[in-house]
Structure 1
Amino acid sequence: MEQPSSFDLARLAALKEYASLEHELCLLMRNLLGVDDPVAAAVFYQISNTRSRYAIIGRLIGLRPDPKWRAWAKIERWLTPCDTARNHLIHWFEDHYMRVTVTEDGGLKAASAERVPWLRNATRRGSFSADEKRYEAKDIFTERDNFRVAKHIVNRFQLTVWKPEEWPWTDIFQQPAGDLTPVEFLQLLNERGHAARLPPYDR
C-alpha cells in the first residue's frame, strides 16, 4: 500500500478541521432545539445539504425570544465558502505539474525541476486553463485555517446561545457583524476572554 504523502496529510488535516466545524454546528442546532446530543446528531447529520441546515438554524434563531442573534446572518455567509472548499477537497482529483526553476548566467538554464501535486476539478480532466481553480498544499492549509477560524466562531456562538448569561460574547452576537472579516470577528471575541489562537497556524 502506498504511504500517504505530505499532500495527502494536508488534505486530511483540512477535512478533520471541517469535521470539527460541523460538530460545533450540530451543537448549535442542539442548543436551539433544546434536545440532547444524540437527538441533535440524528437530525443534523441527516441533512446533507448545508443550505438547508443553515435555513433551519436561521429559522430556529428567528423563533427564539430575546436575545436576537443578529450576527448569524454574517456567520452563515462566512460558512458558505468553507462548504465549497470542503466539497472541492473531497471530490476533486489529484494531478501534478512540473515546477521548473531557472538561473540566468549568460543565458537561461534549468536549475531544478520538481513534480508538484495539486487538486483539480474532476470535470477538467484532459484539459487545462491557466485561470482554473486548483489547490496546492499551501492552498489546502489556507482552507484548513479558514475552517478553524469558523469553528472557533461557531463554538463561541453555540455556547452563547446555550447559556447567554454565562459567556462574555452575548452583546457581540446580538449585533450584526458589519464589514468584519472572520479573523477580525474572532479577534473581537478574543478580547472578551477565552481567547482562541488566531492564524497563522502551524502546519
Structure 2
Amino acid sequence: MLKEIRPAIVVLVILTAITGLIYPLAMTGLAGALFPAQAQGSLIVKNGQVIGSSLIGQPFTDEKYFHGRPSATSTADPNDSTKTIPAPYNAANSSGSNLGPTSQALNDRVKADVEKLQAENSSTPVPADLVTTSGSGLDPDISPDGALFQVPRVAKARNMSEDAVRKLVNDNIQERFAGLLGEPRVNVLALNMALDQKAK
C-alpha cells in the first residue's frame, strides 16, 4: 500500500512547491522587474505622499471635483457585526450591489441619484454610468459623457470657464485599448488632479 501512496505524495509535494512557491515568487519578481509601478498598485504620488491609485475609485463629494460612479461596497457595522454599512470604494470588500433590474431598492436608489445629479448639475439626461455601480464597486473611471455632464457644476464651483474645464476632460479621455477593446473613459482621480494643477 505504501508503494501505491508514495508516488502520490511525491507528486503532491512537487506540485505544491511549484505552484505554491516557485511560480508565485517568479511571477512576483518578474512583475516587479518589468512593471514596477503596476506591481505596487499603480499608486499616484503627489508631493511625496500617496493620494490614491489609478485602479481604484475614490468618493469625491466636493462640488469643485468630478464625481465617480456610485459604489456598492460595504464594511462591517462597528455597532453590530452581523450587519454591514455602506463604505464606498472599500477595496477590502469589493462587490456589486447584487440588485437585479426588477429590484425596487435599486429603482429607488437610481431615481434618487438621478434627481440629486440633475439638481447639482443640469436637468439634461444623466449618463447611465453615473447612477449604476460597477461589478467591483471600485471603478476609477467614468464615461466621457459622464464627465462632460458635470462640466457646468465644476466650472461654476471653480470660477473657471466651461470651455477650459471641457478641454481638461477631453485631454484626459483614454481611448479604447488598441482601438478595439473597452470603451473611451476618463480616470476621475487623474482629471481632478489636472483640475487642481490648472487652478494653481
Query: Normalization by structure 1: what TM-score?
Result: 0.26
> Relative contact order: is structure 1 or structure 2 higher (C-alpha 8 Å, sep ≥ 6)?
1
Rg larger in 1 or in 2?
Answer: 2
TM-score (norm 2): 0.26
